[in-house]
Amino acid sequence: MSWSSRDLAYMEMAYSLAEKARGRTSPNPSVGAVLVKRDKIVGWGFHREAGQPHAEIVALDRAGRQAKGATLYLTLEPCVHWGRTPPCVDRLLGSDLKRIVISSYDPNPLVHRKGAARLQQAGIKVEVGLLGHLNQRLNEFYFKYITGRVPFVTLKAALSLDGKIAAVSGHSRWISCQESRYFVQHLRAEHDAVLVGLNTVLVDNPRLSLRLPDLSRKKWYRVVLDAFLRFPARARLLEKPEEGQVIIFTGPEISESRAKRLRRKGAEIIQVPAADGKLDLRSVLEELGRREIAAVLVEGGAATLTSFLQHKLADKIYLFLAPRLIGGEKSLTLFEGPGAIRVAESIELKNLRHFSIKNDIIIEGYF
- Prior bond to 220 cis, omega within 30? no
* Catalytic residue selected from 12, 19, 49, 56: 56
Is the Cβ–Cβ distance between 323 and 162 less than 8 Å? no
Contacts of 25 (CB under 8 A, 6+ apart): 31, 47, 48, 49, 50
Strands (E), 174-306: 193-197, 221-225, 245-250, 268-271, 274-275, 278-279, 295-300
- Amino acid, single-letter form, for residue 254: I
Helix (H, G, I), strand (E, B) or coil at 182: helix
Helix (H, G, I), strand (E, B) or coil at 150: coil
Catalytic residue check, 190: no
Helix (H) and strand (E) counts for the chain? Answer: 11, 16
Buried residues in 29-65 as b, exposed as e (16+ CB within 10 A):
bbbbbbbbbeeebbbbbbbbeeeebbbbbbbbebbee
Specify burial of residue 82 (Cβ count, 10 A radius: 0-12, 13-18, 19+): exposed
Is the Cβ–Cβ distance between 10 and 36 less than 8 Å? yes
Catalytic center residues: 56
